[in-house]
A and B are shown apart, each in its own frame.
Chain A
Amino acid sequence: MGALFSLGVVIALVLVALVGVKGAHLQSLFGVVIPYLAVITFFIGLIYRVVKWGKTPVPFKIPTTCGQQKSLPWIKYSKLESPATGWEVFLRMALEVLLFRSLFRNLKMQRSGERVVYGSAKWLWLGGILFHYSFLVVLIRHLRLFTNPVPSFVRLIESFDGFLQIGLPNLMMTGVVLLGAATYLFLRRIYIPSVRYISLPADYFPLFLIMAIATTGILMRYFIRVDVIKVKELTMGLARLNPTVPDGIGTIFYIHIFLVSTLFAYFPFSKLVHLGGIFLSPTRNLANNSRMVRHVNPWLYPVKVHTYEEYEEEFREKMVSVGIPVEKPLETKETEEASEEESEGKE
């Protein structure tokens, strides 16, 4: 259900751009206004979310650990699984962000006769890492449309990406890998019953959207070609904040840019914001040093305490009368009077 709904939304988006450009000739709306609004939404939304997370207090040290904690000097501790210093946290975070380490440790539970066995399950990690890195390369490659002269690193990445020299224009491997990985991530949600059960439209929609973006991009590069020079005139106008809309760019370009704008605008409101969220995960970015450094709850306020001394002072007579042992014995009347007399005598 969720999948069909999301597919329907993406198809509707394609139709909106198709009708808007082919029918209503709203080239400047789809080529300039919407992309700008989307990028502004993306930046403001993302920063807002990150700042909001930054303002949220973390009352406890809650790093997830799966290794020996640092304690006595002769006990070897696990620096990555239970980081004790900021540097070790940095290393752990870097491996998490760059290599998706926690996904790599994904396990699958299976029954082997009467026994339960845990085996490694790397497919999700492989699909995820291929998806993210190809998306990164595709993004960097697109800089050739937004810079003039094009910086050399873009040229370098593009020459590696088109290394196979299949067809003309050269086949870019990452484009195909991106579409393939996104398709795998979608099929995984459909075919694994437990994953399908927990999948929502918010899980399917970004996948369909990215699949549609990759498809329109591939179509535009290899099959329904557009005049790249005019496209670059438009995109350079966007980057130089001096927008122009050249005539005669194919509709497929406007569909592509409208879907990309949707992705940018949708980003801060969705699960995609894990781009920033991963850095602010308290279970990952805190050091497990609660034995060495006191973590003060940020919302700690002065608590009214009633110590045992005060308690005993208040109830001593009652405690003694029912036979509860007290720390300070009850002072008898005579001794009190005697002490009073003594003090009076001194005066």
Chain B
Amino acid sequence: MYDGGKIITGIIIFLLFATFPFYYNIGKAHVKPDPKLDTPVIKQLKEKKCVESKSYMRAYHMQLLDDWRNQALRKANRTYRNEEGKLFEISLQNTCMKCHSNKQKFCDECHKYAEVKPYCWDCHFVKEAKEGGAAR
């Protein structure tokens, strides 16, 4: 090979960048997120069901919350009608956090894993949770 030293150095530098995810995770424990649904309010519920279905909430909750924010603050509409026609008060603090009072063990669990920094808490404050204490 002509200029083999330079070419092989180049290939090695390229491989160091390109294979980053393969060696970066070596030796780091892979802890899967485990959001907890064991707050006292949820335990007392007869029908353990969120505003919408579980699969919908898992994928679309941020869009629902964005819509709620716009409805409540820009259109002064505080009632949400879900797929089944059930009515809910549009409020992060009074509706969502009433059941999911464990922000650290519910919200943050997945958000940390997926490296998401929701800006809910730029305006909202986190109530003292009954379990796990205040987050943030």
Residues of chain A at the chain B interface (Cβ within 8 Å): 43, 46-47, 50-51, 54-58, 143-144, 146-151, 154-155, 158-159, 165, 167-169, 225-229, 232-233, 236, 239-241, 248, 250, 276, 279-280, 298
Contacts of A55 in B (CB 8 A): 1-2
Whether B7 lies near A168 (C-beta < 8 A) is: no
Contact with A along B20-32 (1 / 0, CB 8 A): 1110110010111
Contacts of B33 in A (CB 8 A): 229
If A148-B28, A236-B30, A248-B55 touch, whether A228 touches B66 (CB-CB below 8 Å) is no
Residues 39-71 of B contacting A (Cβ, < 8 Å): 55, 58-60, 62-63, 65-66
Whether B55 lies near A50 (C-beta < 8 A) is: no
- Tell me, rounded to whole Å, the shortest Cβ–Cβ distance linking A285 to chain B: 9
Given A43-B18, A165-B119; 19 other pairs, CB 8 A cutoff: A46-B14, A50-B11, A51-B1, A54-B4, A146-B21, A147-B25, A151-B24, A154-B115, A155-B117, A168-B65, A169-B62, A169-B116, A226-B59, A229-B33, A229-B58, A229-B110, A239-B21, A239-B25, A276-B14
Cα distance A274–B23 in the bound complex, in angstroms = 26
The 3 closest A-B pairs by CB, nearest first: A146-B21, A168-B66, A150-B115
29 contacts between A and B (CB under 8 A): A43-B15, A50-B11, A51-B7, A54-B4, A55-B1, A146-B21, A147-B20, A147-B24, A148-B28, A150-B115, A151-B24, A154-B115, A155-B115, A158-B115, A159-B117, A167-B66, A168-B62, A169-B116, A225-B60, A226-B59, A227-B59, A229-B58, A229-B113, A232-B113, A236-B25, A239-B21, A250-B59, A276-B14, A279-B10
- Tell me, rounded to whole Å, the shortest Cβ–Cβ distance linking B109 to chain A: 9
Cα distance A51–B113 in the bound complex, in angstroms = 40
Contacts of B123 in A (CB 8 A): none
Contacts of B110 in A (CB 8 A): 228-229
- Tell me, rounded to whole Å, the shortest Cβ–Cβ distance linking B97 to chain A: 18
Contacts of B66 in A (CB 8 A): 167-168
Whether B25 lies near A148 (C-beta < 8 A) is: yes
If A43-B18, A225-B60 touch, whether A144 touches B65 (CB-CB below 8 Å) is no
Contacts of B20 in A (CB 8 A): 143, 147
| Residue B3 at the chain A interface, CB threshold 8 Å | yes
Cα distance A279–B115 in the bound complex, in angstroms = 35
Contacts of A227 in B (CB 8 A): 55, 58-59
- Tell me, rounded to whole Å, the shortest Cβ–Cβ distance linking B55 to chain A: 7
Contacts of A225 in B (CB 8 A): 59-60, 63
- Tell me, rounded to whole Å, the shortest Cβ–Cβ distance linking B32 to chain A: 6
Contacts of B18 in A (CB 8 A): 43
| Residue B73 at the chain A interface, CB threshold 8 Å | no
If A54-B2, A54-B7, A55-B2 touch, whether A228 touches B114 (CB-CB below 8 Å) is yes
